Structure 1
Amino acid sequence: MSTAEKALLGTLIKHDYLIKETRIRPEHLENKQHSNLLQIILDMNQKGQDVDLISLTTLHHLDSVGGMSYLSELESFANPAKLESIEKLILDIWKEREKRNILTVATTNNWDIAKIISSLDNLTQAKSDDYTSIHQALSKIYDAPWEEQHEDTGITTGIQELDKVTGGFQNGEVTILAARPSMGKTDVMLHLAKHAGWAGNLPIVFSLEMPEKLITKRLVASTGGINRTKMRHPMRSLTDKQKRNWANVIDELSKTEMHIFDGSGQTVAEIRAKARKVIHQYPNKKPILFIDYLTLIQSDKTFGGNAHQQVTDVSESLKFMAKDFDCPIVCLAQLNRSVESRSIKRPVMSDIRESGSVEQDADVILFLFRKGYYNPEDEDKTLEIIISKNRNGPVGSVFVHYNHFTGEIIPLSKYNES
């Protein structure tokens, strides 16, 4: 019996939130017993019933799907991180099987070549849900000149000037946020994540370098205006005022509904699986993914140690993920050392480390630059956010106040008011 089919069924039984997302239908499975079981799983899910080993034991015809021992065996094959590759394998096998069936029938019934080609073409396009004819596309905008259009401003960055330029973070788009180490990338990312959450969205953070404990301390420090060094020993270091405000800071951060994954060396498939599970738990919230950072993401393929090809593959995979989840993805990236050897330190596209196809795949590329990074005696705390690429809008720069002691990011308009 097909291992891929077992892996599919085991994954759906053990992780039933994936049932609504699977592309596989009973007719795609070669094994009749598997096909029957998948139909049962889909029917139960359609009726709003839980699908797990316990619920499946109540089936009157349990023996027809292998019995309890076989269902338990299927669970051992569960692998949610590989679901998409499992589905692709099953569909590829199904299509090859159907091609042979078509050619057998064509030979038996003496089909002409045109009918054979047409049948094979239909099979190639089968189960495609990304097709729209030009007539359908045009009908959707036919009345646009006479209707008030809803402007989708995307997910806010928490920086009004940046929202005006980029329109916020848009579904299906990948934003690369790049800078040299210690320029403020992580603090900017956490600012973006917090404000996305406060605006009612679902921020999901993948920190591949910094552990959750440090991420949480940074969130508290920046939100409470606390010097990060005090976070090492809050009881001894915080002022009485900061201690009184502590509960308010914790309460405000809890409202973001932020989710943090801090495993190192995560692959794109693992990130997809974890994000999908969280997204399923909050069906009424718009997700946005933050990943720190690009070259720490492991490719699902091996390229013999070729870092350039690996980053290229990861970059392409992030774009596919953004489109599949229909959500924005913000991914941090390091700049290579070449920027340090130049007299003009402001970053450019080619400074992105192992850039691969990042320039091509990203919809928006943001660079961070501050003079104080290169001149510690400079008291200017301005951070320049350079919009170097903006597929659907203008480029330019936005300036914010950055306190690198607390991690606070404050739009200059608000900072000047204070």
Structure 2
Amino acid sequence: MTPTGYVPEIEKALLGALLDGGDHRATLARLTPEHFVEPAHAEIYRLASAAQEQYGTTRMPTVFQMASPAFLQGFADQMGEPLGQYLAAMVTDTPFDARNIKGSVKAVISQWARLGLKAEAEALAAAASDPASNPAELARAVVSRADEIASHLRAGHRTNTRQTFAEAAQAALTASIEAKRNQRLTGVTTGLLDLDRATGGLQRRDLILLGARPSMGKTTLGTSIARFAAASGVGVGVFSLEMDNAKLTARMLSDLAHQSGHRVPYQDFIKGDMTDDQEEAAAHAMERYVSLPITLDEATGLTIAEIRNRTEIMVEDAQDSGAPLGLLILDHLGKVKPSARYAGNRNNEIGEITEGLKSIAREFDLAVLLLSQLSRQVESRDDKRPQLSDLRDSGNIEQDADAVLFLHRAAYYLERAEPADPDERIEWRSKMEACRNLGELAIAKQRNGPCVTIDLHIDMACSAVRNAARGL
């Protein structure tokens, strides 16, 4: 019996494209017969897969010849017309050619998932009506099935995970040659030469964590990296879970004005205290950099599932715009909403989030930069430089992150320790001037490179982060 809400044309469109011929190996690798709601369509798809495997084609005549006599007879009895006529009609009615099959693959999986969830909801309603049912078992079963269905929805966006040694070796050699051409840069540039040299750039498919205490400059560094990466032609997506888009953009414009040699403090920008010259500088920066491929999303309280869905939209939009997404920035970890699965166990909640972000990095071939606040235990030490143990619920973060960076500014602590004694204040001012724009970025963990500390020039007022001793 055909379920309510089933649209047969969705499956027919995909099958028609397959039967029209072409190279459909990528499609056949993503779909299985179970994704088709109509059993007859599932069998046709299975026949197409077999034809591709045996004869290297999915064209209609070959697929038709693969059908058994029993299926031919059963199909005619069930569908009311011969299989050959049905297949020919699907090819004729296909509204697009085989080159545009990607959207149809997504539609088939989406319909299967939607109707699968509908069936699970109906089964849950029936089971929950029984007074003898165990709600805990029902909840576990629902979560398990929902996760299974969700995994199919995500699978369509995953890159190919299987390669021969020859393919992998060629890819590695090509990447090395390309990195040599790009001055050892294999990932997304950060705009910071010393950091790029130490890491090769932010690597795609990696989860990179940037940790620091509040007001240390995490967001400033994140927005600086975003605009440098975008200026190199890489599409950048930013989930600003704490700050609205207008304020985040104001930081970037302040940074861009600084890049052009003008000082437009961020606070003056958002308070409306800019001079006429500063307004002109900010407007010029906006005109010059308005085409940067950066997408901002200020939604709050997002779950990993919601982040994944919004990332998918960003990826598709960036592809259409001509600047494919290569970097995703989330500000910050503490604002990502965990699911109810591990409610009360913060360590497992964090693990669920970091594992989900690592999965997004791999599925969409992105470098994911995750900003995170450090625990207060940093403040209790004489040396306040962060350590891996300062990560909140650090076990899972350390495990899932491919690289961990810590930002530290001595001026942050020094400016909060102004002495009352006038004589001591003279020495204090001297120390403040010496370290006001100095920052340290420690690479505390890196799977494929050294763990070193990089000196930075940071102008917090203008949201600008530059290479040390250069300021440019």
TM-score (ref. length: structure 2): 0.64
2:178 aligns with one of 134, 147, 150? 150
Question: Structure 1 or 2: larger helix share?
Answer: 2
Equivalence map 1:95-106=2 (5 Å)? none
* 1:335 aligned residue: 374
Indicate the residue corresponding to 1:281 in structure 2. 317
- Please give the secondary structure, in 1, of the residue aligned with 2:229: helix
Task: Give the 3 Å change call, closer, same or farther, for CA 29–261 of structure 1 in structure 2.
Answer: same
Aligned residues: 350
Q: Find the partner of 2:285 among 216, 227, 249.
A: 249
Q: Deviations over 1:13-33 (max 9, x none)?
A: 9xxxxx989933455324348
Partner residue of 1:28 out of 17, 28, 35: 35
1:86 matched to 2:93: no
Question: Structure 2 counterpart of 1:394, which letter?
Answer: P
Which of residues 188, 208, 217 in structure 2 aligns to 1:175? 208
Cα distance per residue 1:109-141 (max 9 Å; x no partner): xxxxxxxxxxxxxxxxxx995233446545777
2:295 counterpart residue number: 259
State the Cα distance separating 1:348 from its structure 2 match. Answer: 0.2
Are 2:411 and 1:355 aligned? Answer: no
Q: Go from structure 1 to structure 2 and tell me whether the alpha carbon gap of 1:226 and 1:325 turns closer, same or farther (over 3 Å shift).
A: same
Larger radius of gyration: 2
1:303 match: 342
**What is the Cα deviation at residue 154 of structure 1?**
1.2
Give the Cα–Cα distance (whole angstroms) in 2 for the partners of residues 176 and 88 of structure 1: 25
Q: CA deviation at 1:410?
A: 2.0
Tell me if structure 1 keeps the 8 A contact 2:211–2:404.
yes
2:274 to 230, 238, 248: 238
RMSD (Å) for aligned C-alpha atoms:
4.3
**Contact 1:311–1:354 under 8 Å retained in 2:** yes
- The structure-2 alpha-carbon separation of the partners of 1:259 and 1:344, relative to structure 1 and needing over 3 Å to count, comes to same
Q: How far, CA to CA, are the matches of 1:88 and 1:7 in structure 2? A: 22
TM-score scaled by length of structure 1: 0.72
1:227 aligned onto 2:235: no
2:17 alignment counterpart: none
- Contact 1:401 1:410 (C-alpha < 8 Å) held by counterparts: yes
Q: Deviations over 1:295-343 (max 9, x none)?
A: 2212345212211110011111111111111110000011000111111
Give, in whole Å, the separation in 2 of the partners of 1:6 and 1:213: 43
Structure 1 residues 308 and 7 mapped into 2: Cα distance closer, same or farther (>3 Å)? Answer: farther
CA change 1:2–1:158 in 2 (3 A) is: farther
The residue aligned with 1:165 is 198
Output one character per residue of 1:58-111: Cα deviation in whole Å (capped at 9) or x when no partner. xxxxxxx9xxxx9xx98x98xxxx99853546999xxxxxxxxxxxxxxxxxxx
**Which residue of the partner structure matches residue 384 of structure 1?**
440
Which blocks of at least 5 consecutive residues in structure 2 are unaligned? 14-25, 49-89, 119-144, 180-184, 258-262, 419-431
Q: 1:403 aligns with which of 437, 456, 459?
A: 459
Q: Aligned equivalents of 1:411 and 1:311: distance in 2?
A: 32
1:275: Cα distance to partner? 1.3
Alpha-carbon contact 1:309-1:356 (below 8 Å) kept: no
Equivalent residue for 1:205, pick from 231, 238, 244: 238
1:205–1:85: structure 2 CA closer, same or farther, 3 Å change rule? farther
Q: CA deviation at 1:256?
A: 1.7
Q: Percent identity?
A: 28
Kept after mapping to 2: 8 A contact 1:45/1:51: no
Structure 1: which amino acid aligns with 2:282? W
In the alignment, is the contact (CA less than 8 A) between 1:8 and 1:87 conserved in 2? no
AA aligned to 2:264 is: I
Quote how far apart the aligned CAs of 1:267 are: 1.1
Q: What residue identity is the alignment partner of 2:449?
A: G
Q: Which deviates more, 394-403 or 276-285? A: 276-285
Cα offset for 1:171? 1.0
Over 3 Å counting, the alpha-carbon distance change for 1:289 and 1:396 in structure 2 is: same
